Structure 1
Amino acid sequence: MALDGSRPGSGVVAADHVSLRRNNLSVVLRHVRELGPRSRARIAADTGLNKATVSSLVAELVDRGLLREGNAEPERGVLGRPGQLVELDGRGVCGVGAEINVDYLAVTALDLSGETVTERRVPLDVAHLAPGTTLDQLAELIREAVDAVVARGGQTAGVTLAVPGLVQSSTGSLKLAPNLGWTEVPVVDEMRARLGTPVYPVRVDNEANLAALAAYSEMKTAAESAGDSKVEDIVLLTGAVGVGGGMVAGGHLLRGGHGFSGEVGHMPVAPAGGICGCGRTGCWETVVGLTALLNKATDSDDPVRDPSLDVEQRLAEITRRAEAGGARTLRALADVGTWLGIGGAILVNILNPDVLVLGGYFAVLGPWLKEPLETAIRDRVIAPDGGGCRVVQSELGFAAAVRGGAQISLDQVFLDPTLVGRDAAGVAQ
């Protein structure tokens, strides 16, 4: 016996029991998310857990507001009376994604089932503001989103910040964001201080990585709904003033050895090109970024260049001019599309993705960019038929990074459902 009266090693046994239950809660919750409503008996049969354990786990997940009772229905492949189904709930559990970009801030809150609770984007000339000023304004948007979650009786599972630059997620620091003019900013610490040291975790990640995760989830869901084979390898190109790339291989995000992968906008593709925000000459984004398009398509005094206008308003005007057959606009779009294909071909030759996804402004103007892009890829990719890579436009547009950020926070709940307090079941109807 130990001095406290416990048996030797009992602390380890207790810890293992807690870990085992946490893991089993995760197994059941993820099983229902991936396969849809299930009876307790079906969950037990599918997972190999015994029925009594599954009943206890389901009861706790319902108590935490993560699952809810559904209808009693017969299940395919299961004999006997219809079973009471349980299905994903999570209306009271939300993840918040927040984005800092060159000319806007954005925030979205999603609940566990993927429904949007609140979203907002505001134009802001971030590149000409001090980091502290921008973080002050973003903190206000985050507080509004968290308040919206609380108003529906919910809990915030976490906040993930998306920034366009080199990020060390492990330390919560932004190392370098050339287009913002930011260097060595402890983004997470700064934001936690502004939010009053919240109980929920605050994270930071590269905006292209988060956009790629959201696009991958979007494509995976669409493929499953259509009964198609799953897409496991994608490259997402997100275009704004800068250009970022997120890569998913075998269903997993590629971050690189130090977490700095995806800075595709700084590939040197145009040696005779302009000066990039990073200080180098001829980076890819100098010929395909939104600034490059506007320089080619408009005069310097054109209102569409005004950074105080929401980016979607500016793109709507470019779209209107393209649809009206404006020669200068169409030439600019064809030129950007060709350059997009030149850089895209490099990525396809190296990574051979199933799909090249156009995000950000590339998705909005995809109808005019896609043909010259695909032509350039066919001409430059050494594998037959462009390596089998399809080019698609993301339906998420400028919401991709914030949705990916919200999903990152929610994914932690699926991995550890005990992160959610039991009062999450009391969400307002």
Structure 2
Amino acid sequence: MLTEGRRPGTGTGAADHVSLRRNNLSVVLRHVRAAGPRSRARIAAETGLNKATVSSLVAELVERGLLREGQAESERGTLGRPGQLVELDGTRVCGVGAEINVDYLAVAALDLSGDVVTERRVPLDVAHLDPAVTLDQLAELIRAAVAAVAERNGLTAGVTLAVPGLVQSTTGSLKLAPNLGWSEVPVVDEMRARLGAPAYPVRVDNEANLAALAAYSELKKDADTKADDIMLLTGAIGVGGGMVAGGHLLRGGHGFSGEVGHMPVAPSGGICGCGRTGCWETVVGLTALLNKATDPDDPVRDPSLDVEQRLAEITRRAEAGASRTLRALADVGTWLGIGGAILVNVLNPDVLVLGGYFAVLGPWLKEPLENAIRDRVIAPEGGGCRVVQSTLGFAAAVRGGAQISLDQVFHDPTLIGRDTSGVAQ
């Protein structure tokens, strides 16, 4: 990274100075995010920037509403001359994430500190609706989230849409979402039109990728957890996967990675939403579990019922020892381990994270899953991979989307205008 005292590049003049200043603002802001509240002197020592430069950068970041003055350093037990700490300011800038899934829509706004400002999920039978109707309803949820940010004098840095399918993030288009029945939908253009061409950017990404980023952030909060490389498996009607390696999301050569639900693991299995036979999600998706555990007229299959209510009923039956439910969970857990073993053999993550409905029903899925991985992974002790349950539930993708929107600010703090009045513009 460029810092003062290093050559900023081959060019000269004002443009180089502006670029260097922007980079150094990012260095300081990202350092405070990673390391926590710091005095100006300590930031200078840890980043290699000189003290005068850090003082100037901090002052600008405070004006932009990204940092704020904290308590005196001596109050935290630091010896020597006390310094004024600076910390992330979570009051002004927020990112919004929104999700389209088979049977629900969701939205969340996070502030710069990662705290939830607003969060909502509504059941909706998306697979049987025209895309325009779904996008209309999602736009209403986004507008409400942006309004909630504005009510606290906040500024929306961006909106990131999460969808379960093949996404071209660079063009803002959804190429194919088999479980939604959507193809070639310019979701970013459609959403921007519904939101009235907002000043903030609108992006789209695969929901499993965004959920993986949120799960990675969740694990990094635990100082005792070694999680440089994680694989998230998220389950609903479909199944997706996201891999974070060394803190970076693996998207693949064309950005289409993560469609693990379509690995052919059961050649004699059922027909998948993609039209192929025996995809992994046909044996581990929520539909597969419900087909094994319930009768066709069971109310728990009603797609208009919120997914958490449906899972609460499955949990109740499992806790009551219902034999059919327990057999279904054991079967799904074993198939989850069969596919998971393939991923562990190929990618060797430190941690395999269960998200979505897999996390909710983890107490019954985890043991057969781990047994299957241990039996099928060639490396000793399952390749050292641990299986953990995410605590984010069905909020992972929207929180990951909000994080993506905020990450742009961390990489370029000048995207947020100076606010010397103390009120977001």
What is the TM-score when the length of structure 1 is the normalising length? 0.94
Separation of aligned partners in 2, 1:86 and 1:252? 27
Cross-structure match for 2:338: 342
- Is the 8 Å Cα contact of residues 70 and 87 (structure 1) preserved in structure 2? yes
- Is the 8 Å Cα contact of residues 91 and 111 (structure 1) preserved in structure 2? yes
Separation of aligned partners in 2, 1:308 and 1:376? 34
SS at match of 1:277: coil
- Deviations, residues 75-124 of structure 1 (Å, cap 9, x unaligned): 99976311111111132100000000000000000000011000000000
Cross-structure match for 1:385: 381
Q: CA deviation at 1:420?
A: 1.1
Cross-structure match for 2:359: 363
Counterparts of 1:213-362 in structure 2, within 5 Å, are: 213-222=213-222, 224=223, 228=224, 230-362=226-358
Separation of aligned partners in 2, 1:425 and 1:212? 38
Cross-structure match for 1:8: none
SS at match of 1:356: strand
Which of 360, 371, 375 is the equivalent residue of 1:375?
371
- Is the 8 Å Cα contact of residues 97 and 401 (structure 1) preserved in structure 2? yes
Separation of aligned partners in 1, 2:373 and 2:80? 56
Separation of aligned partners in 1, 2:250 and 2:278? 25
Cross-structure match for 1:25: 25
- Is the 8 Å Cα contact of residues 219 and 225 (structure 2) preserved in structure 1? no
Q: CA deviation at 1:36?
A: 1.0
- Letter aligned with residue 80 of structure 1: G
Cross-structure match for 2:153: 153
Separation of aligned partners in 2, 1:288 and 1:427? 49
- Is the 8 Å Cα contact of residues 226 and 350 (structure 2) preserved in structure 1? no
Q: CA deviation at 1:49?
A: 1.2
Separation of aligned partners in 2, 1:294 and 1:67? 48
- Is the 8 Å Cα contact of residues 270 and 284 (structure 1) preserved in structure 2? yes
- Note closer, same or farther for the CA distance 1:101–1:354 as it changes in structure 2 (3 Å cut): same
Q: CA deviation at 1:337?
A: 0.3
- Deviations, residues 382-411 of structure 1 (Å, cap 9, x unaligned): 111111110000000100000000000001
- Letter aligned with residue 100 of structure 1: I
SS at match of 1:120: strand
Where does structure 2 lack aligned partners over 5 or more consecutive residues?
1-10
Identity %: 88
SS at match of 1:74: helix
Separation of aligned partners in 1, 2:13 and 2:253? 36
- Is the 8 Å Cα contact of residues 92 and 424 (structure 1) preserved in structure 2? no
- Note closer, same or farther for the CA distance 1:65–1:23 as it changes in structure 2 (3 Å cut): same
Counterparts of 1:94-109 in structure 2, within 5 Å, are: 94-109=94-109
Cross-structure match for 1:4: none
Q: CA deviation at 1:425?
A: 7.3
Cross-structure match for 1:164: 164
- Letter aligned with residue 241 of structure 1: I
Q: Once superposed, which parts of structure 1, at least 4 consecutive aligned residues long, lie more than 4 Å away?
A: 75-79
Counterparts of 1:391-406 in structure 2, within 5 Å, are: 391-406=387-402
Cross-structure match for 2:61: 61
Separation of aligned partners in 1, 2:335 and 2:423? 50
Counterparts of 1:32-111 in structure 2, within 5 Å, are: 32-74=32-74, 80-111=80-111
Cross-structure match for 1:188: 188
Separation of aligned partners in 1, 2:404 and 2:172? 15
SS at match of 2:221: helix
Separation of aligned partners in 2, 1:368 and 1:246? 23
- Letter aligned with residue 311 of structure 2: L
Q: Does 1:135 align with 2:131?
A: no
SS at match of 1:422: coil
Cross-structure match for 2:409: 413
- Letter aligned with residue 227 of structure 2: V
Q: CA deviation at 1:177?
A: 0.2
Superposed CA RMSD: 1.5
Q: CA deviation at 1:22?
A: 0.6
- Letter aligned with residue 249 of structure 1: A
Separation of aligned partners in 1, 2:26 and 2:234? 32
Q: CA deviation at 1:293?
A: 0.3
Q: CA deviation at 1:204?
A: 0.2
- Is the 8 Å Cα contact of residues 273 and 281 (structure 1) preserved in structure 2? yes
- Is the 8 Å Cα contact of residues 104 and 123 (structure 2) preserved in structure 1? yes
Q: CA deviation at 1:306?
A: 0.4
- Deviations, residues 47-66 of structure 1 (Å, cap 9, x unaligned): 12111111111111111111
Separation of aligned partners in 2, 1:128 and 1:210? 25
- Note closer, same or farther for the CA distance 1:47–1:75 as it changes in structure 2 (3 Å cut): farther
Separation of aligned partners in 2, 1:424 and 1:29? 18
Q: Does 1:173 align with 2:173?
A: yes
SS at match of 2:13: helix
